[in-house]
Structure 1
Amino acid sequence: MGSISSPCFVIFPLMAHGHTIPLLHLARLLRRRGISVAVFTTPANAPSIRSFLKEAAKTTSIIELPFPNNPIAAGIPPGVENTHDLPSIASFCEFTKATALMQPHFEKALEGLHPVRCIISDALLGWTQESAAKVGVPRYFFFGMSAFATTLYRALHRERPHSQTLSPDEAFTFPSFPGLKLTRNDFEPPFNELEPSGPWVDFMIHQGVAMAKSQGLIINSFYELESTYVEYWNNNIGPKAWCVGPLCLAATSDNNNSSENQPCMQWLDHHSPVLYVSFGTQSEISPEQLKEIAVGLERSETKFLWAIKPKLLKNLEGFEERVKGRGVLVKDWVNQNDILKHKNIRGVLSHCGWNSVLESICAKVPILALPFIAEQHLNARFVTEEIGVGLRVMPKGGRSYRGIVEAKEVERMVKEMMEGQRGDEVRKIVEEVGEAAVKAMSKGGLSSKALDMLIEYICQRPCGQAG
């Protein structure tokens, strides 16, 4: 396990790529400030985490806990310890519930760490709040979403502005945000229903109780980007939110250079302008939607680089050959930060996962938003309507925010992003927002100051005092 010197911050990410990576970036920032970090994970996830944090090996311990292989984990095949390997996103809830069986092992491991100053865990690992209370240390929860989405989901539940709507596409406004118009289709089922119910709702209610008992919320964002929603959270919901991002800017120089020799990077060196296409590790795309996207890209005659899951290729027979020369399909892991920062990338067609949004902003690349699941629809709204760093690809008919996006819409909006006036407009805005992100994380910036203040606040508390 390795030795830990004081003070020690415990970090426990959910075993999902999009949830883990920002917390590992946070571990880097803590290490650079003289804080020893213990990262908890499972045996199957430990090697990649060790590789990610190899430059911090002397001050970071990776502690492995057995992942439960138990009947409670219905739909989770034996040996699966990361949501990326689940057969379907439908098993996500059961996977997350199963993590609670790790609690006894977690608490036993905590006994060997002295002194633990705090536990920073994923918001969906609510059971760690009970563990934190037992050892008398504060728990801070990390929500991998924007302050915009995190706040609006809670405000939807509290204010119920959608209660009088007759359809999922009927617009409504929030009493607390009168200038903001949304629809129920901007929120993920079942939470967008008038009377939401079911296992996922019950699970999130339980997590909400743990959040309320926690000491604070750590947000991967910067205050200037989402001040309205951070202030609403702090004044009306709580516990206190600390904006310490964008955490992707904590990437090391080793990581930044890690993919220089990949064929896709060499291809990028000789092609311009290029649209990067990526829909993340968790989004599930129907064969019908995948074909529409492919046809739209093909007809756009735009150069593109598409990071795609190999299992999806069976739905794109002949496509790779037809676009050969101006389109590249990358089936292996890619360093998305490297690609986005490449001088020949002019835009990104994205699912609008929050990590991807921040990486695009920090690389100053405008976003063509095509959301699928979770809070991605709200992020798409935020990107296109709130801060203006992207354009939206709309489903068939243009009235609903849910449904199949047709090839002709993909073609039209790709051309607009890459060649049109609106593409140029959002490109200018993302330059400014990207500069603000870098400033926030630099010495003296608000995110940097917030992390320093959080560390000081935690470390000045006597050990064993959680409240």
Structure 2
Amino acid sequence: MATSNSQHEGHVVLFPFMSKGHTIPLLHVSGLFLARGLRVTIITTPANGPFIDQSLADTSAAAATVVDIPFPQNTVPGIPVGIESTDKLSSLDLFFPFTISTEHMQPDFERALQTLPRVSFLVSDSFFWWTVVSAAKFGFPRFVFYGFANFPMAVGKVVAENRLLEGPESDTKLITVTQFPWIKITKKDFHESFRDSSTDAAQHEAFEFNMRSVVATVSSFGMIVNSFYELEPVFTDYWNTERGPSSPAVTR
């Protein structure tokens, strides 16, 4: 790839989720892209713009362009106008409604894409499941970004596929993770939404959100993970083997 002194050879759009633990790692990734000669555009919302500008100010990513798009207003009861990040939510009960409401940003996101130089690929947070549709519409690949490592994703995949949370065991009984028998989990280690869709409205909403994210991840071109190979080679190799060579989990 090109060095930082070469002419820009591509243009990547980054779209971090409005949560500091998701945003900061992706801002670090922007510096890696810029160092390799890529043009970088970061999409965010007006209330999150100042934090991103400040974070980039003293880094090699300062050359990145930041584009604001509106955050949906008055779509979720209990979330007042101006609340555009998870650290500002008055209750964790609002997390899934907040996250799901971001789908209303899709029209403005796509309008912003139309104003940008030709996009080579998109890297968007795993919570923005709907961006895989936008990327397909505009004809460029979408990479999904996970702010955590391959370990929880690999274990979660095995647990889900083997239905390990559906047995009669109590919530505190240790259950062996099939492909990784040295790992023991309990049902309490997982949010209720990972167990079933339930008739409870809040739990069903969380379950549906998780399913949308999973489907969008599978449909994406590949993954970028906040990790490095030497830290967790077993889980990285497992994920890459399961996902196949066309959609690897790329550690940064």
Q: TM-score, length-normalised on structure 1? A: 0.49
Contact 2:31/2:61 (<8 A) preserved: no
SS of the equivalent of 2:37 reads coil
Q: How does 1:93-242 map to 2 (within 5 A)?
A: 93-191=96-194, 193=195, 195-197=196-198, 198-237=204-243, 239-242=247-250
Contact 1:75/1:94 (<8 A) preserved: no
Distance 2:20 2:214 in 1: 23
Q: How does 1:36-47 map to 2 (within 5 A)?
A: 36-47=39-50
Q: 1:67 aligns with which of 58, 71, 94?
A: 71
Please report how far the alpha carbon of residue 179 of structure 1 lies from its aligned counterpart in structure 2 after TM superposition.
Answer: 2.0
Q: 1:77 aligns with which of 61, 77, 80?
A: 80
Q: Counterpart in 1 of 2:35?
A: 32
Distance 1:167 1:38 in 2: 48
SS of the equivalent of 1:145 reads coil
SS of the equivalent of 1:20 reads helix
Q: Counterpart in 2 of 1:279?
A: none
Distance 2:205 2:214 in 1: 14
SS of the equivalent of 2:121 reads strand
Residue type of the alignment partner of 2:90: P
SS of the equivalent of 2:115 reads coil
Residue type of the alignment partner of 1:23: L
Distance 2:234 2:78 in 1: 40
Contact 1:132/1:138 (<8 A) preserved: yes
1:68–1:159 distance in 2 versus 1, CA, 3 Å? same
Distance 1:229 1:58 in 2: 33
Q: Counterpart in 2 of 1:243?
A: 251
Distance 1:57 1:120 in 2: 16
SS of the equivalent of 2:192 reads coil
Distance 2:9 2:101 in 1: 31
Contact 1:11/1:39 (<8 A) preserved: yes
Cα RMSD for the two superposed structures = 1.6
Q: Counterpart in 2 of 1:22?
A: 25
Residue type of the alignment partner of 1:159: N
Structure 1: tracts of 5 or more residues without a match: 245-467
Contact 1:11/1:120 (<8 A) preserved: yes
Contact 1:6/1:114 (<8 A) preserved: no
1:223–1:57 distance in 2 versus 1, CA, 3 Å? closer
Residue type of the alignment partner of 2:206: W
Q: TM-score, length-normalised on structure 2? A: 0.89
Contact 2:42/2:67 (<8 A) preserved: yes
Q: Does residue 50 of structure 1 match 2:53?
A: yes
Q: How does 1:412-431 map to 2 (within 5 A)?
A: none
Distance 2:178 2:90 in 1: 41
Deviations 1:21-44 (A, max 9, x none): 000011111112211110000011
Contact 2:34/2:61 (<8 A) preserved: no
Distance 1:162 1:209 in 2: 20
Residue type of the alignment partner of 1:199: E
Contact 2:126/2:145 (<8 A) preserved: yes
Structure 2: tracts of 5 or more residues without a match: 1-7, 199-203
Q: How does 1:252-291 map to 2 (within 5 A)?
A: none
Residue type of the alignment partner of 1:241: A
Contact 1:147/1:230 (<8 A) preserved: yes
Distance 1:196 1:45 in 2: 32
Q: How does 1:368-407 map to 2 (within 5 A)?
A: none
Q: Counterpart in 1 of 2:4?
A: none
Larger Rg: 1
1:6–1:113 distance in 2 versus 1, CA, 3 Å? farther
Please report how far the alpha carbon of residue 163 of structure 1 lies from its aligned counterpart in structure 2 after TM superposition.
Answer: 3.1
Q: Counterpart in 2 of 1:450?
A: none
Distance 1:166 1:196 in 2: 19
1:120–1:242 distance in 2 versus 1, CA, 3 Å? same
Distance 1:210 1:135 in 2: 16
Distance 1:223 1:56 in 2: 24
Contact 1:151/1:229 (<8 A) preserved: yes
SS of the equivalent of 1:190 reads helix
